[in-house]
Chains A and B, each alone.
Chain A
Amino acid sequence: MEQLEHFHIDPKSPTGRPLLALAEKLYAAHGDVMDLWEATTRELGRLPRQDRLALFNAKKFLSFQLAKLLDTLQNPSRKTHQSLRYSNTTMLAKGPYPTFDNVTAIFSATPVITRTATYLYACSEWIDDALQGREFLHEIYSRLMNPTSISLPNHIVYIEAGPMAGEYMAWNFNSGMAAIDAALSHLVGY
């Protein structure tokens, strides 16, 4: 309800009703995901391998279902965007909204090489959250972080640490000296 109010949408209108129903389920689903995360952290060590395999497969299935939800949402979203009739100048500069076509990238069998410098935000408050480090979903600027530069060190951890991968994390830098300076400054800086 709060979200609809934020965007000045009447929850009793024909489009407001399904939007409200979806938003409420998504909020509840997010709570369920957090519970699942907590329960997994607590219980994983006690589960036999067969159960851990089943859990992984079930979560993989859920991830695909979530992506499917997001992909389906792009249909009414694209229709609404097209109905706004932006000027030719705006459309030539911006093109179609990127999320319409990006969701299926999640299904790529190898990590997608991301060539963007900047990112989209749900609303201006999320930009503030991203800049304050409160919203980890959103990158700010590709010189700082980028989906490809997150994927690379995650793969390096598996190559370097193998079965100990869960104990490590890695960062990649554009030069060895940048990596050395960052690591040392983090440890011995004031």
Chain B
Amino acid sequence: MLPSRNIYGGAHQLLHDWFGKRPNLDVGVVFFDGFTTSDFTKALAGVKKKYADRLAAGRRVYVYLESPCNPHGVFLDVPGIA
């Protein structure tokens, strides 16, 4: 999973503590900082490299965004990222 760092605290906790933790679902979770398409593209390349084995085995990358972000109200370049 490639979620934005700028998300609601509850969603962050769910991804970090439940989906991401090894004793729980052990899903690969990498948060990306920043707001632009270029910030996202860099993070996506990192994820593809880090989890190349899982992706080769048929797993997929899912992107999770919130915009405007809670609680800071910043906007992500959603059309660019999508």
Contacts and interface: CB of A to CB of B under 8 A. Distances in A.
Real binding pair:
yes
Interface of A: 176-177, 180-181, 184, 187-190
Interface of B: 1, 8, 10-11, 14-15, 19, 25, 27, 62, 64
Contacts of B25: 188-190
Nearest to A177: B10
A180 to B, nearest CB: 5
- Which of A180, A184, A187, A190 has the most C-beta atoms of chain B within 10 angstroms of its own C-beta? A184
B11 A180 contact: yes
B1 A188 contact: yes
A37 B69 CA distance: 43
24 contacts: A176-B8, A176-B10, A177-B8, A177-B10, A177-B11, A177-B14, A180-B11, A180-B14, A180-B64, A181-B14, A184-B1, A184-B14, A184-B15, A184-B19, A184-B62, A184-B64, A187-B62, A188-B1, A188-B19, A188-B25, A188-B27, A188-B62, A189-B25, A190-B25
B9 to A, nearest CB: 10
A190 B25 CA distance: 8
Contacts of A177: 8, 10-11, 14
Contacts of A189: 25
Contacts of B64: 180, 184
Contacts of B27: 188
A183 to B, nearest CB: 9
B47 to A, nearest CB: 13
Nearest to B27: A188
A190 B27 CA distance: 10
A180 B70 CA distance: 14
A167 to B, nearest CB: 15
Nearest to A189: B25
B12 to A, nearest CB: 11
Contacts of A187: 62
A45 B15 CA distance: 42
Closest 3 CB pairs of A and B: A177-B10, A188-B27, A180-B11
Contacts of A184: 1, 14-15, 19, 62, 64
